[in-house]
Chain A
Amino acid sequence: MGETTAAPRAMAAPGGRAASTPLLGNEREPTMFEMSVPGRTAYQLRTTGIDVRPLSELIPAEFLADAPCDIVEVSERDLVAHFTRLSHRQFSVDLGAYPLGSCTMKYNPKVCDTVAAMPGLADVHPGAPASLTQGWLALMVELEESLCEVTGMAAATLQPSAGAAGELTGLLLMGAYHEAQGDRRRRVLIPDSAHGTNPASATLGGYEVTTIPTDHRGLVDLEALREALDTDVAGIMLTNPNTAGLFEEDIAAIAAAVHEIGGLLYYDGANLNAILGVVRPGDMGFDIIHMNLHKTFATPHGGGGPGAGPVAVSQRVKDFLPGPKPALLEDGTYGWVTPPLSIGRVHGWHGNSLVLARALTYLKVHGGDGLRRVAERAVLNANWLRKRISEHYPAAYDRTCMHEVVVTATALKRATGIKAIDVAKRLLEEGFHSPTVYFPLIVDEALMFEPTETESLQTLESLAESLDRIALEALSNPEELQASPRTTPVRRVDEARAARVLVPTEDARVID
């Protein structure tokens, strides 16, 4: 350590630590339903001048309910207080650092929200004729072209709503490609380090999954891959850098081997942030790629969604893309065109459009040069953290990582009984969101940190100091550590009970 980090620390406090702003209160917040009072209202509607006729004159009696469905009755003032209090019980990127590996929880620029709220974008009906939506069509064409340039691909679809939808779309494209060659292939290869969505999508795409092991380097076992390849293999799904945060340096050899048996390479774009402007999936030999705009392109994740999972493809797959697709027509206007061998629609309309508008805004602010800087700083931050915390939390694979680092608490557990989950929970008290734990599945006691490029050196140092403190506490007072977190709105929750006594709604509550 020493001088290199001491200087900035002396000048500034961390910006990403939220321990000074406690999530308020550890008294329970009533539900809206508990606040409900019969007869209370909040709504106000426009004066229309159209008489509301009795429903019995409008709707056949057999379909009409006897009384309105009882949902809830609260005042506007109570509604505001309730949801404001709920928001105070919620960690977010706006509040503090969120080094949740594999999720790329970078800062979400506010300008993107402002753009998405522009009436000319937000208030457009998806079924309006193309003549009325030329702006949207132009936006989508520009985004498709930009994403193709970033990934080195020939064409794209913006329809998939999220990464998993993109994966399934990609697998259907793979199937359509082989079918067009008169070829039915039944297997897809997936490394054991992959995200769970990959095998789940492969099954829904009609494939059997063959799992490829990871070798001692944390990379795809090339020999095992070669043995698994035959003409029944439709393709391979790879994340590169992989979920261990490492670049698959044999990618050219992998691509050659898969292409040799006539298979295609699918790129899971979950970790695209690491390589923006540095290397492109298309140049590595991939044929199909999905991107997670809610990761790489900073669109806010909304507590679990919306995302957007555009899919880009190489020349040989482009005729199969979902349609209709936005296109610049010969007459100079924009319109919708369906590719000749399209697999069909994968979205009810055109995709998560307002997410797409945010992503294009982000792209325009950064430009090509800015995107490269994003990757550089993301990888720099991850490596700085990897080395800084290595004394107590050694990396699972001791080499330069990409945008995220997987460390292991195995030694800590052996020495103190403290597990990865305990470290994660204790970190919440320190004002940081936990890293991803127990993933990838191939690493014992895994803690996966992805600091992202938008956290400062001061915040990283503060995070590291918290982790050091936790490691020392593990030695001196493991019981107390296992009791954490204590300062959060609730403490560790009984997950087993939630599954055993299912209470999915207010109406299912049997005890209180």
Chain B
Amino acid sequence: MPDYMPHTEAEVASMLAFLDLESIDQLFDAIPKALQVSAGLELPGGLPEPDVSYAMEGIARANRGAASAMVCFAGAGSYDHEVPPVVRSLAGRGEFVTAYTPYQPEVAQGMLQAIFEFQTLVSRLSGLPVANASLYDGAASVTEAINLAVASSKSQVVHLSTGVHPNWRAVVRTFARGTGHEIVEVPLKGGQSDFDAVAGGDHPGVIVVAQTTYLGTFDDVAAARRRADEVGAVLVVVADPILASILKTPGSLGADVVVGEGQPLGTALSFGGPYLGLFACSLHQVRRLPGRLVGETVDLEGRRAYVTTLRAREQDIRREKATSNVCSNQTLMAVTAAIQLGWLGTHGLAEVASRCVSSTRYLAEQVQSVAGVEALLPGVSVARDVAITTPIAAATVLERLADDGFLGGLAVASLASEGDGSIDPSLRERTIVMSATEKRTKAEVDALALALGSAIR
């Protein structure tokens, strides 16, 4: 029977003899017999690796929509970026992949230094001095940022811009069931947060805005900062790590906490995970920082060394008084991001960002030239996504485009939508968010526009 256990029958017998046992079942004598599984699990028997590989290949083939098999114009937080062989190769090294949390720093300097470099990169891109070793994903980061900000401001009222991805807002609402935070959604007007629309009620302790919204518009972070100052709120900004290269950093615009989805930094689309939660904050918030933080120090010979630090914040020490329960994070994706950013460098990241904006603008122009297709927000600048409306249901349009080999975007109606004020309800079913990354060619965009012309009929 195939498996990964080295024991021979003779060794098992000798080990049992050493323990004065006659059968392996005796090891489980502390478990009441009545509770034990008597007839074995009702699962198929084990199969050799090659058989399982064939079976999994079959499952993979059933995913018609793989970006490698279709031309991908879907974005809204998860993007089809170039991940070069060098990044896949380095990030796939067994020393990184099969390590545990760096609890013994003497034999974990590799991971610890890589995380330190990742933290430095996130700090530079966010414009804030401290970044943690990662959280699960963008949704988890914004949830944790709200917890930090509530603890800091002592007010549980949260004004959450609907420019933030609808699924992330849904996650925030779910976890608010436990914390009791009052989540008030701020509608968009012309693609920007309309705080006046939620005037009245309690002053918020926390304001959350997306620097670039899931609909592809630029929100006004400086205006959000002014609003936060007026009401004494902590400002959390969701930022895109690619556009961070060319936009004013949220930190320079007054963000107290910057969070984001790090998937665009070297991680495949991965059907949604594992992704990479980015989290940066100002120095005076560092003792409330969720998750792990690596700091530089020295060893007893005075050599530079790295170690997880400010550990007294974390759940294994503070237990029920901890500000976060996070233990496992997404370290491997963080290291991947550090490698990807190293490969892109200052100039490569800026070029990718410029291409994303430029190509998405070209995409917007081409698809909006199709009769019947309109911009959701005419005249509003697009960042790296563009929202369009179609004369028929968006879901139908996307199915037809798929038959022509295009993943044409995301139907806004397929995302979480409870209480959503980001979009005119009458347009929801007919809105598609699409994006062109640095990988999309002119020929691909032109072909998509042509296919869209037929798909909307």
Contact = CB atoms under 8 A, between A and B. Distances in A.
Tell me, yes or no, whether A binds B.
yes
Given A146-B43, A172-B178, A372-B41, 15 more contacts: A71-B124, A74-B342, A86-B111, A114-B53, A121-B60, A135-B63, A161-B330, A202-B320, A304-B100, A308-B274, A351-B272, A351-B273, A354-B274, A436-B103, A493-B300
Contact of B342 (A5, A42, A65, A175): A42
Nearest to B436: A50
A102 to B, nearest CB: 10
B118 to A, nearest CB: 10
B97 A113 contact: yes
Contact of A494 (B1, B80, B300, B359): B300
Interface string A128-140: 1101111110110
Contact of B174 (A48, A76, A300, A345): A345
Nearest to A452: B5
Contacts, number: 758
Given A8-B14, A456-B7, A200 B111 contact: no
A92 B309 contact: no
B226 interface: no
B117 A32 contact: yes
A163 interface: yes
Given A43-B347, A90-B95, A305-B329, A127 B74 contact: yes
B110 A45 contact: no
B345 interface: yes
A182 interface: no
B24 A380 contact: yes
B44 interface: yes
Interface string A493-512: 11101110111111111001
A327 interface: no
Contacts of A505: 116, 119-120, 123-124, 129-131
B99 A491 contact: no
Contacts of A305: 134, 136, 274, 328-333
Closest 10 CB pairs of A and B: A349-B272, A132-B65, A120-B60, A302-B332, A126-B272, A90-B110, A43-B348, A135-B62, A367-B46, A306-B274
A252 interface: yes
Nearest to B139: A348
Contacts of A373: 1, 3, 5
Interface in B108-128: 108-111, 113-117, 119-121, 123-125
B399 A129 contact: yes
A380 B27 contact: yes
B7 A42 contact: no
Interface string B61-83: 11111111110101011101010
A149 B15 contact: no
B40 A372 contact: yes
B448 interface: no
B16 A59 contact: no
5 contacts: A51-B358, A79-B339, A111-B53, A123-B268, A504-B309
A71 B72 contact: no
